[in-house]
Amino acid sequence: MASAARSPKRPLSADDLFRITIVSDPQAAPDGPAIAWVQTSLDKDADTYRSSIWTATSDGSAARQLTSGAHRDSAPRWSPDGSIIAFLSNRPGVLPAAKPDDDEDAAGHDDPETPSSEKAKSSDCAADDKPPTQIWTIRIDGGEAEQLTNHPNGASSHAWAPAGRSLAFVA
């Protein structure tokens, strides 16, 4: 019986690193038949990481990509009824920019004590010119992701309320 031909061993190269896919943050659906996770890879041309949200049935079949694009999607969290996944993303937002509370007085006017250079710093994007991470949702049955938050400093550590009508998060 002939054995399968093996490629000769060779040292790991930089190009090999671009072929590695990292799977992280698996989350079981509330009723158990599905799993969501983050899949991350390196984008050699853009010199950055790309990550997306994937789902599959609990036995690993029927895998499908829910999100895609030139950004980082992470932290998938199932809604209590299993119909929606909330996730974090640094994708460009569609909501109007929110202003930090301390930049306005009670009447909604800019704080005259805050120099405009300080205001500009607080609204700047991250060092890689990506917007701060916000919370987005996507329906399991398909469709486009919808932005939920637009906090100037981003959002993180999100969790669904038991009834599934709201999310708590850290800003």
Across the 171 residues of the chain, what is the mean pLDDT of every consecutive 10-residue run? 70 84 94 92 84 92 90 95 96 71 45 42 48 94 91 93 94 89
Q: What is the pLDDT of residue 17?
A: 80
Q: What is the pLDDT of residue 120?
A: 37
Q: What is the pLDDT of residue 86?
A: 97
Q: What is the pLDDT of residue 123?
A: 40
Q: What is the pLDDT of residue 4?
A: 61
Domain-by-domain residue ranges, the chain? 15-170
Q: Which two tokens stand for residue 49?
A: 């990481």
Q: Which two tokens stand for residue 9?
A: 């061993």
Q: What is the pLDDT of residue 98?
A: 59
| Cα–Cα dist 111/118, whole Å | 11
| Cα–Cα dist 36/65, whole Å | 10
CB 23 within 8 Å of CB 10: no
What is the reported pTM? Answer: 0.74
Q: What is the pLDDT of residue 2?
A: 54
| Cα–Cα dist 79/36, whole Å | 12
Q: How many CB atoms lie within 10 A of CB 45?
A: 7
